[in-house]
Structure 1
């Protein structure tokens, strides 16, 4: 009875196990070291903070728009995150201007506008 060997698994199963082992080893070696999104480039972080510092009235959406004009492709949420990490308020001067001050400045501009038309008379020569 023990003279004939009995196989517990089929050869196809052994080959499948070998393929799985090689595949797992390959995926572990090619897997990135860090999970998640890569960090923003330092020069972009510096540029965002410089724009926020030099233009106090700009919010993170305006800074994002200016970066797009400059050709820097970065998400608006990334700009917001950079400002939050640095402890910079997204628009510190925006909170100081209120709707009332805006209307007052518009009214002053309207009052300063000249609505009157001055008609000047010139000598007309008529031919009779």
Structure 2
């Protein structure tokens, strides 16, 4: 990143870096439709399941006022063409 560049958006750049590292660099993308489908799936995962350090390990769509109760069983579900795993309470 160039120093003192007024047009840089660090949030967008971080999101694009995450997409590249966790998704795009690990797949062979066939066409624009395939790319759009993967980006849509990754965006859903990023906003609803992926923990963020700046939010105390909560996803952006998580309610910080809700305290999760411990569960006995957790189920794993593959996401984004099987590249990422999402974990949910079983039941």
TM range (shorter): under 0.3
TM-score calculated relative to the size of structure 1: 0.22
Between structures 1 and 2, the one with greater helix share: 1
Relative contact order, CA 8 A, sep 6+: which one is greater?
A: 2
Structure with the greater alpha carbon radius of gyration: 1
TM-score by length of 2: 0.28
